[in-house]
Amino acid sequence: MNTLQNIISDTGTDYTVDTILMQQRTPAATTHTWIVAEDIDDVQIYERHTDREKVSVLPSTDYPAGDRGCEHVENIVSLVLTSYPGAHVLGIRDCDYTRYEIPEHIHPANIFVTDERDVEMMLFNAPSVRNSLEDWSEKLLPNLNLAISHTRFMGYLRICNHVCKLGCKFKKKVKLSGTWDDNTHRFSEDWQETLLQRFMSNCGNDDPMLYITSKEALNDFINGWGLEQEPWGNICQGHDTVWTLSTLMKKNSVFSEAAIMERMSESYSTEDFKTTLLYSKIKSWSVQKGINVLK
């Protein structure tokens, strides 16, 4: 029998789901809100901009064990709303490449997404974060621009993979790190060609919507979708960009990926968050519910 408890066990979301469900049986449920974010880094970013007395921000699984991510965010919110349709629970997930899906991607009830591709790109796009990075080192913003020129190409491959259902496993087979030379401290001259060849060699679906068999075919896809005119925040993946920026900064304890993320998270201002569509939609949701969620 596919009971609620069986679903919870299968998704590995026991901690967050149980916490929210237990609280629905208390008086706090009428005034408190639970936000489910993808990972602990996202929790630390979003909770800084909420009313902490009335809002709890939790990761999408029992951290640090188990899977986490956008699907788990949606599962948790759905599971809670199945038992308590009026629960003050919402999920914040990365937009990823859903904006490019046909037919249009419809997010489930109470699910809100980042304006940019993911939370890292949202931070990179914020004036408060960019000012903080510039104050930290005058080399960070120029290297960020250089990083984006590389991760943008990776983004084209990722979008093509997502839209055309090509089944490429980037984490294992197609990584920018595979084209980086520690001795020369730069990417190889043929880094794009190398990544494209690895991409084409590792598309595993038997019946994709489109075969990519050459650079010309990829360029046709990029041009057909107008991807070169799209903002870099929609194209580049956050993890790719943070890794590349850290590497270009001669990756060390000062400019490690964790240090860069911490700096961005702490410097991201509520004023910048208020300019996002994400903020506006959550604010509208909270007004309809008659509750306070955001600062």
pLDDT tens for residues 78-131? 999 999 999 999 999 999 999 999 999 999 999 999 999 999 999 999 999 999
Domain with CATH 3.40.50 in the chain: 4-115+276-289
pLDDT value at residue 67: 67
pLDDT band at 205 (very low <50, low <70, confident <90, very high): confident
Neighbours of 279 (CB within 10 A): 18
Tell me the two tokens of residue 113. 């997404």
- Those residues with Cβ within 8 angstroms of residue 220's Cβ, 6 or more apart along the chain or in another chain: none
Q: Is 214 helix (H, G, I), strand (E, B) or coil?
A: coil
pTM comes to 0.91
What's the whole-number mean pLDDT along residues 280-287? 97
What's the whole-number mean pLDDT along residues 277-293? 96
**In this predicted model, what pLDDT tens digit does every residue of 136-162 receive, in sequence order?**
999 999 999 999 999 999 999 999 999
pLDDT band at 2 (very low <50, low <70, confident <90, very high): very low
| CATH placement of domain 4-115+276-289 | 3.40.50
pLDDT value at residue 210: 77
pLDDT band at 62 (very low <50, low <70, confident <90, very high): low
Least confident piece of the model among 69-73, 191-195, 231-235, 267-271: 69-73
In the predicted model, is pLDDT for residue 7 greater than 70? no
In the predicted model, is pLDDT for residue 132 greater than 60? yes
What's the whole-number mean pLDDT along residues 53-82? 85
Neighbours of 90 (CB within 10 A): 24
pLDDT value at residue 66: 61
d(CA 178, CA 251): 16
Least confident piece of the model among 54-63, 103-112, 146-155, 241-250: 54-63
Tell me the two tokens of residue 180. 């980086």
Which residues are paired to 50 by β-bridges? 294
Q: Are 226 and 144 in contact (CB under 8 A)?
A: no
pLDDT band at 212 (very low <50, low <70, confident <90, very high): confident
What's the whole-number mean pLDDT along residues 40-47? 94
Q: What is the mean pLDDT of the chain?
A: 92
What share of the chain has pLDDT > 70, as a percent? 93
